[in-house]
Amino acid sequence: MNSPHERARLLDAEMQLQRAWLELNLRALSSAARKSPWAKLNAMNLGVMGASLLKHRSVWVAALSVLMNIYRRRARKDTA
């Protein structure tokens, strides 16, 4: 049977391996994020909220719907 000291050393070594694995994954994800076309939006200083809004298709659909409604209302006023 392992002594408590040996078990502690084994647990410490396992935690160090997990930490190293997480750091490697974080580096890979952050480098992929920097290469993303969305990374250019950060240079435009839109902020986190603005950049995240531009990523969602529903926001684009809502904006298009609002613009179409404004156009229709103006077209009705011109004909009336």
Which domain covers residue 79, as residue numbers? 45-80
Q: How many beta carbons lie within 10 A of that of residue 52, not counting itself?
A: 13
Hey, what long-range contacts does 71-79 have (CB within 8 A, 24 or more apart)? none
Instruction: Determine contact, residues 38/55, Cβ cutoff 8 Å.
Output: yes
- Give the chain's domain count: 2
Are 23 and 53 in a shared domain?
Answer: no
Note the Cα 75 to chain centre separation in Å.
39
Query: Which positions ≥6 away from 41 have C-beta within 8 Å?
Result: 50, 51, 54
| Within-domain flag for 40 | no
Note the Cα 50 to chain centre separation in Å.
12
Q: What is the pLDDT of residues 35-66, one digit of tens each?
A: 777 666 665 665 666 666 667 778 788 889 99
To the question of pTM greater than 0.85 for the whole model, the response is no
